Structure 1
Amino acid sequence: MKKHITVEAIKKYAAASKDKAAIHLDVDAARTAGFDRPVAHGMYIMGLAQSLYIEKHPTQWITAYNMKFQKPLFVDTVAIFNFECFGDSVEVTVTAETGDKIAAGTFLVKELQR
């Protein structure tokens, strides 16, 4: 599943989370920190992964999760979210459009009771 990580989405997340660290919002600050351009918040990426999974699996509930980040995800790029289901465990991989592996982790899920 592909998702464009827009400047506007990162600005909204920064405002909502109150994480306005300059490396997420300012090109010069990102460059000073050693990045080509601003980077997305890690928690934004993890929350987006959860939202995208639940959107496709509305009868499931995420009960636990973990994610390890390997590389930054640059703002104004496309992220690819891959979900592999193994019973109540879902392996999550996030890659950039360049093929760089950004993050990997696991969701534990259960079916919602009706």
Structure 2
Amino acid sequence: MKKTITAEQVLNYAHVSQDHAAIHVSTEAAKQAGFERPIVHGMYLMGLAQSLYIKENPLKWIFRYSMRFQQPLLIDEEVTFRFVEKHNTIEVMILSNNDKIALGYFEVKELEI
């Protein structure tokens, strides 16, 4: 599944999370840190991955997760979310231009309705 993370989405997340770290919201601060533009919050990416998975698997519940970030994602870059199911563990990979942004997993349970 592919998504482009926009500056508007990052600003909305910064407002909701109250994480207004300059590297996420200021082009000048990002440039001073060595990036051409602001970077996406890691927690936003992890939450988005969970939301995308649950949208496609509404009868599952994520009860444990872990994610390690390999490198930052710049705003306005397209990312691909890949999910590989192995029993009750979902391997998660977030890629941009074939570069690994993050790797992790979700542990899931079937919801009883």
TM-score, normalised to structure 1, is: 0.97
Runs of 4+ in 1 over 3 A off after TM superposition: none
Farther off after superposition, 11-20 or 32-41: 32-41
* Structure 1 equivalent of residue 10 of structure 2: 10
* Structure 2 equivalent of residue 109 of structure 1: 108
Deviation, 1:36, is 1.5
Distance in 2 (CA, whole Å) between partners of 1:99 and 1:91 is 17
Does residue 75 of the first structure (1) align with residue 57 of the second (2)?
Answer: no
- After superposition, the CA RMSD in angstroms is 0.5
Deviation, 1:99, is 1.4
Alignment coverage as a number of residue pairs: 113
* Structure 2 equivalent of residue 87 of structure 1: 87
Deviation, 1:100, is 1.1
TM-score, normalised to structure 2, is: 0.98
Is there any run of 5+ residues in structure 2 with no aligned partner, and where? none
CA-to-partner distance for each residue in 1:68-114, whole Å, 9 max, x for gaps?
00000110111100000001000000001x21100000100000011
Percent pairwise identity:
51
Q: How does 1:13-28 map to 2 (within 5 A)?
A: 13-28=13-28
* Structure 2 equivalent of residue 46 of structure 1: 46
